[in-house]
Amino acid sequence: MTLKNKMIGIDEAIISAKRVMFRCNKLAKITCMKIGITRLYLSPEHSLVNELVGNWMKKAGMIVRQDEVGNICGRYESKYINSPAIVLGSHLDTVRNAGRYDGILGVLTAIEIVYWLNKNQTRLKLAIEVIGFGDEEGTRFGITLLGSRGLTGTWKKEWLLYTDKDGITISEAMTNFGLDIRKIKDASRNIKDIVAYIEFHIEQGPCLDNENLPLGVVTTIHGARRFNCRFIGQSGHAGTVPMYYRKDALVAFAEWMTFVEHNTCKKHPQLVATVGFLNCKPGATNVIPGEVDFSLDIRGPKDSLLESLSTTLLKEANIIANNRKLSFEFKEYYRTSATVCDIKLQKILFNSIQELQGRCLLLPSGAGHDAIAIAECWPIGMLFIRNHLGISHNPKESINLDDLIISLQAYSYAVNKIINKI
C-alpha cells in the first residue's frame, strides 16, 4: 500500500466531510422534542436512528446487525476469514436538549473510513467493526454506558428493574423495542475477537480551540467521585442575632468553597472540583441559613489524586465546621476509576495527527465515554476534534468543515497504521 492509499485523499475527504455534516443534521431531526435534540435509549427515535445508520453502514459495504442490547453494528471483513476486528465507534443517544455531534460524529466518521476502503476495494488484515452504541449518556434510566457494557458482558441483572421517569423498566423498554432480555449476554464479545477500540469524539472542553488545533489525542479519561454534603448550623432571625453569635451554614460553605478552588488546582493542574447543586435552608430572605445541602463532583487523571483531593477537601470542611461550631456530613454516592488510553495507540494517533497538522496536543478527557467500559476488556485510543469554545451537551455544539476534512484523513491514516502495527 502506498502512502497515498493510506489515508482518505483530500478530494474524497471533502466529499466525506460534507456527507458527515449532512448526516449529523439529518440525525438531529430524530428527536422526541419539538425543538432541540433528545434521543433516549430504547425509544422510537433510537429505533429510527439505528435503521438509518444501519443503512448507511450497508451502503459503506458492511454487514449490519442490531445486537441484543440495541447497539447498531456494522462489520467490514478483512482479507482473511474469521479475523479479529478493530472496533471504531461512539454513541447515538443524547442528553436532553443536546448538540448534534456528541457521539454521533464518532459513528459517522468511522462509516466514512469503511466507505473509502470499500470504494477502493481494499481489505486489511483485520476486520473493522463500526458500532453506534445505544446508550452512553444514561439520560433515560440514570445508568450510563449500557451499550458498551453489552459488549463487555458486564450488564447487571438488577439494572432491568431501573425505571425511567414514566415508571417504565429497562426490561419493559427492551421488550417494547423488540429485544429479548434473556439474550442480553449474547451481546458480549470474546476477548480474542477484538483487538482494539478507537473512539473519535468532539472535545467537550476548550483546549483545542484555545490551541487553535483541529485534533488532539486523549491520554486519560478522568475518574470521578461524587458526594452529597451538608453543613448544619442554626437558623435564626436575620435581624436579631448578632453576627458573632451566628452558626450560618452558608458562610461555612462559602469559606470552604474558596478552599476548594485554591487547593484543587494547587494539587494537580488536571484536577477539577465542582459544586453544581446548592440548597440553602430554610431559604428565606429574613432567616439565617441553618443548613446547606450541596453536591461535590471531583474529577482527575489518577485514582490516587482523586483519593487525596477528596480527603483534603472533606477534612477541611470538617475543620471549618468545628471552628464555627457547626457540623458537617457527607456521603459518597458515585465513583469511577480513571481510564488510561493505551500508550501504543496514543503514539500512533499522535504521529498520524502530527504528520497532518504539524503538531499535536495530548489532553485528558474530563467527560466519560464508551471507551471507559470498553477499556475493561480491550486497549482503547481516543481522538478529539475541536468543538467551538468547548461548549457541549448543548445545542451550541459546533465543529467546522475544515477540521472534519483533516480529521477524516488523520483518522483513516491512524486506523491503517494501527491495523498494520498491532
Contact residues toward Zn ion (CB under 5 A) are 102-103
Indicate the residue among 61 and 89 with the shorter CB distance to Zn ion: 89
The answer to whether 189 and 260 have CB atoms below 8 angstroms apart is no
Q: How far is the CB of 32 from Zn ion (least distance, A)?
A: 18
To the nearest whole angstrom, how small is the minimum distance from the Cβ of residue 159 to Zn ion? 20
Cβ of residue 82: shortest distance to Zn ion, in angstroms? Answer: 32
Nearer to Zn ion by Cβ, of 138 and 236: the residue is 138
Smallest distance from Zn ion to CB 101, Å = 9
Q: How far apart are CA 256 and CA 323, in angstroms?
A: 12
154/157 Cα distance (integer angstroms):
10
Q: What residue number has its CB nearest to Zn ion?
A: 103
The x, y and z cell numbers of residue 198, run together, are 478507537
Nearest-angstrom CA–CA distance, 348 and 364: 17
Q: How far is the CB of 93 from Zn ion (least distance, A)?
A: 9
Cα distance between residue 274 and residue 225, in whole Å = 11
CB of 202 to Zn ion, least distance (A): 8
Reduced to 3 states, what is the DSSP secondary structure of residue 381? strand
- Distance between CA atoms of residues 311 and 344, nearest Å: 34
The answer to whether the CB of 356 falls within 8 A of the CB of 409 is yes
Nearer to Zn ion, 233 or 366 (CB): 366
Give me the residue label for grid cell 478522568.
222
Please name which of 181, 200, 230, 149 lies closest in space to residue 415, comparing C-alpha atoms. Answer: 200
**Measured from the CB of residue 151, what is the shortest distance to Zn ion in angstroms?**
16
Closer Cβ to Zn ion, 37 or 126, answer by number: 37
CB closer to Zn ion, 107 vs 252: 107
Closer residue to Zn ion in complex, CB, 70/289 = 70
Residue 74 vs 103, nearer CB to Zn ion: 103
List the beta strands (DSSP E) in 183-252.
Answer: 194-202, 215-221, 223-232, 236-237
Tell me which H or E stretch contains 333. Answer: strand 327-336
What is the Cα–Cα distance from 417 to 214, expressed in whole angstroms? 20
Residue 363 has which C-alpha cell? 489532553
Amino acid found at 282: P
**Which CB atom, from 92 or from 418, has the smaller least distance to Zn ion?**
92
Smallest gap, in angstroms, from Cβ of residue 262 to Zn ion? 31
* Residue among 66 and 387 whose Cβ is closer to Zn ion: 387
- 91 Cβ neighbours under 8 A, 6+ residues apart: 103, 104, 106, 107, 132, 133, 134, 135, 136, 137, 147, 370
Q: Are 99 and 164 in contact (CB under 8 A)?
A: no
On whether the CB atoms of residues 371 and 187 are closer than 8 A, the answer is no
Least CB distance from residue 104 to Zn ion, whole Å? 9
